[in-house]
Amino acid sequence: MIALECAMRAAPQHDIADKRTPTDADGNMLARDVFGWQDDARVWWRNSRIALDSPITSACRFESQPFWVNAAGFHTGQPNPYLQAIDLANFAARAQTRAAIVVPVHLPFGQIGAVSFNPLDPEATDLSEQFRKYGDALGLYARTFIATYVHAKGGVQALQAGSRLSKREVECLRWAAIGKTDLEISMIMSRSRATVRFHIHNASLKLNAVNRSQTVFKAAQLGYISLVH
């Protein structure tokens, strides 16, 4: 194992919003049977709060490049003010490690996976040298593993193949994303309110969304519009 050669153990999670840890076709836990974690009460997949409480998980929502972290802070290639705002109090207990190299894996439809590489030495806190030597390679292997696992596991198709929003649908959703009402959008676009509703409704059908908010959110996930202004 590459991680073990670096004196580290990999902790993979295909979806940080999913309490289930990756398994093989027979339901055996990969973390235990492949990556060498002991199946005891302290492992992360038995901690129901880790997805919300761990600073490592929080950081993966705001960073897409590999980084390393300890109680002193997040160490990244480029400054990220979102990471600086994450609470690191009681870090070791909440993260279940004193330090880690972390690879966030951002997937289609907003799914976020992550692989945390924890040192075999439980007292280790400085991973700067390991990150310098192995960070890029661990990033490549982690992304490949998570993407391959998600593809192999499959699942319900989120959208019909070939679903594509029209220019008018995107324009209506772009205005809706910044809080404009149907009436306001109709005035901006010089179209009737009924036409605006028609375009937004069509977009919701194409994106398999249940309401206006989810339509806007899914359109942003797919890169049609931006939620950052």
- Give CA–CA dist 116/13, Å, rounded: 8
CA distances from 167 to 68, 197, 203, 212 (A): 42, 15, 11, 17
Annotated domain spans of the chain: 2-153, 167-221
**CATH T-level fold of 167-221:** Arc Repressor Mutant, subunit A (1.10.10)
Residue 229's pLDDT is: 61
Residue identified by tokens 């109709």 is: 186
| Residue pLDDT, tens place only, 44-80 | 777 767 777 899 999 999 999 999 999 999 999 899 9
Residue 162's pLDDT is: 64
Residue 74's contacts (CB-CB under 8 Å, 6 or more residues apart) are 59, 63, 67, 68, 80, 83, 84, 86
Q: Return the sign of the alpha-carbon dihedral for residues 89, 90, 95, 100.
A: positive
Confidence category of residue 82, pLDDT binned at 50, 70, 90: very high
At 46, is the secondary structure helix, strand, or coil?
helix
Class of domain 2-153: alpha beta
- Give CA–CA dist 147/105, Å, rounded: 8
Residue identified by tokens 């982690």 is: 142
Residue 133's pLDDT is: 94
pLDDT, mean over the chain: 90
More confident residue, 19 or 185: 185
pTM above 0.85, yes or no: no
| Residue pLDDT, tens place only, 155-212 | 656 666 667 899 999 999 999 999 999 999 999 999 999 999 999 999 999 998 899 9
- Residues 158-184 as b/e (b if ≥16 CB within 10 A, e otherwise) read eeeeeeebeebbebbbbbbbeebebee
